[in-house]
Structure 1
Amino acid sequence: MKVLSFFSAILLSSAAFAQQDYPVQPVPFTSVKLADKFWSPRIETNRTVTIPASFERCVSTGRVKNFEMAAAKSGKFCTTYPFDDTDIYKTIEGGSYSLAEHPDKKLDAYMDSLITIVGKAQEPDGYLYTARTIDPLHPHSWSGTERWVNEANMSHELYNSGHMFEAAAAHYMATGKRNFLNIALKNADLLVATFGPGKRGVAPGHEIVEMGLVRLYRITGKTDYLNLAKFFIDQRGKKAYNKKSKNVWENGTYFQDDKPVVDQDEAEGHAVRAMYLYAGMADVAALTGDKQYLAAIDKIWDNMVSQKMYVQGSIGAVGDGERFGGNYELPNATAYNETCAAIGNVFWNQRMFLLHGDAKYIDVLEKTLYNGLISGVGLDGKSFFYTNAMQITNGFTHADAEPARSGWFTCSCCPTNLVRLIPAIPGYVYAQKGNDVYVNLFISGTANLKVNGKALNIVQQNNYPWDGGLAFTINPSSAMDMNLKIRIPGWAREETIPSNLYSYQQPAINKVEIKLNGKPVEYIMKDGYAVITKKWKAGDKIDISLPMEVRRVIANVKVTDDIGKIALQRGPIMYCAEWADNGGKTSNFIIPSTTTFKPEHNAGLLNGVTVLKGDVKQVNIDANGENVNTVNKQITAIPYYSWANRGKGEMMIWFPSQVKNISLMAQ
């Protein structure tokens, strides 16, 4: 199978077309071969379990049937939401990434059969939206009586197009086939003919068409697509809302539509929509040089990271609207934390890094990736969380807090979003800019790239995230001048997050150590990277020791839910206590300041994890319900991402370090 050499999971190179682009470029994921024990099995599970299960569920739930009925112009839309079309698109996108790395004739043929069905559902002018095409006189209730009239609200017509563009671009770049790409281009040309200056104007209700149009621009060089992406972004803030209303729908903040994007300075509204908007703004800023966009997303990023992110990297605290709350509004019992929002956060932070070359964006990406994102998929590859809880207690479980995983959902945007994210992980490991080669993620494997036209091979060996020992063997084709920039994670530089939202209670005992060919090496720290500049020769080896201490994390006092509490972190991994390891209950632990935690790796637990064990206090009530006392107890903490793989029960991330008051509740 032909795989185009410039294929990248995150961005597609457009050097031939664009006058400017991201200053830093990712190394395409097809140039990075993983050979580790953490990500490689997950990518393989995604290939062998998640992708087939997603395709099967698209059939069994009627998503494929919707396209068949649209082609026949007969029947009744048989699923719940007008954006259900996108679950097929996203699964094709994930399948394409998988196909690029692991040729599979059966998968290739099956995706072609689905693409044929999709193509038959497309109307002659390029319109593709089954919720209307099946029965134009009786469309979905969210769709509006005519095309586009409800797009600014809930029709999701442009949202569907955006995901189709993303999937068609991935399929074309993976296979070289134009069958899906031609469908997408026909739809995109309809959008160009319909929207723009002097035509129809709308701020897309659910963003992603902007990112999708940029993808098509990168493939075709057709500036109409880039211009339309910018046009859609610039339409925000033009609709008349009741600006004084505190209702996020009435004042437009739910849609990020309350003011022009260049005037926005807070992460607001529906968290997934927001992430896709900010990622689209980054794309357009990179390709057009729009400094106002750049200034706006810089401010928004600062606001999110300093006031609106949970300790394990999740965002979107409020279930009512799946949205960001106010500054420091980060409740635990009612946390929402949609998995799609975590995925969007990874997309956006990768782009922010490519704009600025600063490790702080990869620090946030890593925090999200290893914690609040992969928590969204079970270890079996076919069970999922839509939301990601911060605590589950038997005494009180909020309606939005999912205590157990599900096979799929009526709204299954999260499972299919994971399908397309997981196989793209290798594309986040390395990046480059001229003589600068960035090492962003620590995953064993090999990478092949070129620096100023000269071949370079990098071999990475480690047991991350369980061990802080990192080894890199540098193999240029001949002696090469290069600046090797290895990210020193924020967690190893006394930053649990690049803001004062969370911090470590005590400084680390050990320091980072870096050696070149067995000897300490001189380097400078710049933007979170250890920069080693030299003429590299084949076989040069860098060894880094990152101190994997168990750290106590505390929150800013403005996060009222976490006052007097601590969370546990080791390396990039945030920990929780789950019922299965702690006698069925986790909500009654107190972790004194004297507790020392011992890490123990258990290869047979949860597909292999390092757990933390320590002696703590447990609050108990006697059998008569008349006496309360504390007893010594050993607590076992597991990685947050791995919870809820052994049934339903209590889970906690934040623990009191002392008790100052007790509220009594009779059953």
Structure 2
Amino acid sequence: MYATGAVGQTHYGASVNRDMIEEGFIDDYMMPNLTAYNETCANLCNAMFSFRMLGIHGEAKYADIIELVMHNSGLSGISIEGKDYFYANPLRMLHGVRDYDAHADVTETPDREGYLACFCCPPNLVRTISNLSGWAYSLTDNGVHVNLYGSNNLATTMLDGSAIKLSQDTDYPWKGLVKLTVDECKSGAFDIALRVPGWSTGATITVNGKDAGVTATPATYAVLNREWQVGDVIVIDIPMETTFIEGHPRIEEVRNQVAVKRGPVVYCIESPDLPEGTNILDVYIDGEEPLKAQSQPEFLGGLTTIEAKLLLRENKGDAMYRNVRKPKWQELSTQLVPYYAWSNRGTAEMTVFMPVVWR
């Protein structure tokens, strides 16, 4: 699985018997960025499978994967306007290096398209988005588990037949403060369990302004059991730190490279935010400089970008192999955008992983 929750590395893979199959997997840790297939439907099915596993095992790690896919490799399949689509979702895009018409029924494209000849991804994506509210909560023997965060209203019947209504108020995933209000409930004690994301550190939980008395352990559900009253307010505050993430050392393609992640959202650098003519492969990120979140409510439908200092390599060459000396850098302060939002400002190059320089 890629850092974006995407799966299926290649258009042409192989079975365990080495038979060629389309839309498949290849060897462990062999995870190309530029040629990554990562079909939108496959990514969505990763979330669907995880939802079913969540229903069987009740483990928060499965909800973490749903969240990762739906904020990244699932959502990247559709444009901000909701009318153009990607079939494949690579983690890097370079123009002029691949023949996108090299085989019949080509599905990889450098830009989203309004119509896909293989028309499974658009309806699969929009129906998954419309169904996502049904994944936000799960019912247990005596309670409710909160799987996904986002402003909503829940009105349902618990397994014992009693009515429950909850309202959730939050700007998640841009802010980590989530407020849940009990609007209707039964008189007896029951559970309200909150997912503590696996990526989180230092989350706190209060009930009516007082410490809830539970440990917010990452990748678990914090179970609150009490006789709830109408008007009770639960708050989970999840710090939204901007961090570097790296791949397993066996993923050779991203060794000595990092990606930027804030909460569940993976970021990328896109050519509209670089000087004209910059080669995306000449972009390094300065590991010493702070990464600053910047709310932009009017940009690409409203999102949070990351202010970062990049280093553009000046002394370079095009030979397959060449002598190397200490690089010369051009410094650039610019923005990183959420991976899901790339390719919404015209034809662009993009990369999720970048080499990092600590000076």
Per the TM superposition, whether the score is higher than 0.5 is yes
Q: What is the aligned partner in structure 1 of residue 235 from structure 2?
A: 543
Q: What is the aligned partner in structure 2 of residue 414 from structure 1?
A: 121
Partners in 2 of 1:512 and 1:563 — Cα distance? 31
CA contact (8 A) 1:334 1:398 kept: no
Q: What is the aligned partner in structure 2 of residue 617 from structure 1?
A: 311
CA contact (8 A) 2:95 2:110 kept: no
Structure 1 position 635, deviation (Å): 3.0
Residue 326, structure 1, aligned to residue 27, structure 2? yes
Partners in 1 of 2:135 and 2:208 — Cα distance? 26
Structure-2 change in CA distance of 1:594 and 1:524 (3 Å): closer
Q: What is the aligned partner in structure 2 of residue 581 from structure 1?
A: 273
CA contact (8 A) 1:552 1:567 kept: yes
Structure 1 position 475, deviation (Å): 2.8
Partners in 2 of 1:432 and 1:472 — Cα distance? 16
1:336 counterpart letter in structure 2: Y
Taking structure 2 as the reference length, the TM-score comes to 0.87
Partners in 1 of 2:41 and 2:244 — Cα distance? 28
Q: What is the aligned partner in structure 2 of residue 388 from structure 1?
A: 89
Residue 523, structure 1, aligned to residue 214, structure 2? yes
Partners in 2 of 1:381 and 1:313 — Cα distance? 21
2:184 counterpart letter in structure 1: P
Q: What is the aligned partner in structure 1 of residue 225 from structure 2?
A: 533
Structure-2 change in CA distance of 1:310 and 1:608 (3 Å): same
CA contact (8 A) 1:514 1:520 kept: yes
Q: What is the aligned partner in structure 2 of residue 460 from structure 1?
A: 168
CA contact (8 A) 1:333 1:401 kept: no
Partners in 1 of 2:338 and 2:196 — Cα distance? 21
Partners in 2 of 1:513 and 1:346 — Cα distance? 27
Structure 1 position 333, deviation (Å): 1.7
Q: What is the aligned partner in structure 2 of residue 474 from structure 1?
A: 182
Q: What is the aligned partner in structure 1 of residue 247 from structure 2?
A: 555
Q: Structure 2 stretches of 5 or more lacking a match?
A: 13-21, 101-106, 317-324
**Secondary structure in 1 aligned to 2:32?**
coil
Q: What is the aligned partner in structure 1 of residue 139 from structure 2?
A: 432
Aligned-residue sequence identity (percent) comes to 32
1:419 counterpart letter in structure 2: V
Render the CA deviation track for 1:53-77: whole Å, top value 9, x for unaligned: xxxxxxxxxxxxxxxxxxxxxxxxx
Structure 1 position 310, deviation (Å): 0.5
Structure 1 position 483, deviation (Å): 1.2
Q: 2:197 aligns with which of 474, 479, 489?
A: 489
Q: What is the aligned partner in structure 2 of residue 144 from structure 1?
A: none
1:538 counterpart letter in structure 2: V
Structure 1 position 449, deviation (Å): 1.8
Structure 1 position 537, deviation (Å): 0.8
Render the CA deviation track for 1:495-551: whole Å, top value 9, x for unaligned: xxxxxxxxxxxxxxxx11111101111125686111111111111111111010101
Partners in 2 of 1:401 and 1:419 — Cα distance? 20
Instruction: Indicate the structure with greater helix content.
Output: 1
CA contact (8 A) 2:87 2:108 kept: no
2:35 counterpart letter in structure 1: T
Residue 313, structure 1, aligned to residue 21, structure 2? no
CA contact (8 A) 1:479 1:538 kept: no
Partners in 1 of 2:149 and 2:196 — Cα distance? 10
Moved more, 393-402 or 464-473: 393-402
Partners in 2 of 1:364 and 1:619 — Cα distance? 35
**Secondary structure in 2 aligned to 1:372?**
coil
Structure 1 position 476, deviation (Å): 3.1
Q: Structure with the greater relative contact order (CA < 8 A, sep ≥ 6): 1 or 2?
A: 2
Q: What is the aligned partner in structure 1 of residue 152 from structure 2?
A: 445
Q: What is the aligned partner in structure 2 of residue 282 from structure 1?
A: none
Q: What is the aligned partner in structure 1 of residue 349 from structure 2?
A: 650
Structure 1 position 425, deviation (Å): 1.3
Q: 2:64 aligns with which of 360, 363, 369?
A: 363
1:459 counterpart letter in structure 2: S
Equivalences, count: 332
Partners in 1 of 2:134 and 2:82 — Cα distance? 21
Larger radius of gyration: 1
Residue 631, structure 1, aligned to residue 330, structure 2? yes
Structure 1 residues 344-359: aligned runs within 5 Å = 344-359=45-60
Q: What is the aligned partner in structure 1 of residue 203 from structure 2?
A: 512
1:461 counterpart letter in structure 2: D
Partners in 2 of 1:447 and 1:429 — Cα distance? 9
CA contact (8 A) 1:596 1:614 kept: yes
Q: What is the aligned partner in structure 1 of residue 294 from structure 2?
A: 600
Structure-2 change in CA distance of 1:525 and 1:621 (3 Å): closer
1:445 counterpart letter in structure 2: N
Q: Structure 1 stretches of 5 or more lacking a match?
A: 1-308, 494-510, 660-667
CA contact (8 A) 1:578 1:637 kept: yes
**Secondary structure in 1 aligned to 2:314?**
strand
Structure 1 residues 174-213: aligned runs within 5 Å = none
Partners in 2 of 1:351 and 1:645 — Cα distance? 32
Structure 1 position 592, deviation (Å): 2.7
2:129 counterpart letter in structure 1: I
Q: What is the aligned partner in structure 2 of residue 217 from structure 1?
A: none
Structure 1 position 458, deviation (Å): 0.4
Instruction: Indicate the structure with greater strand content.
Output: 2
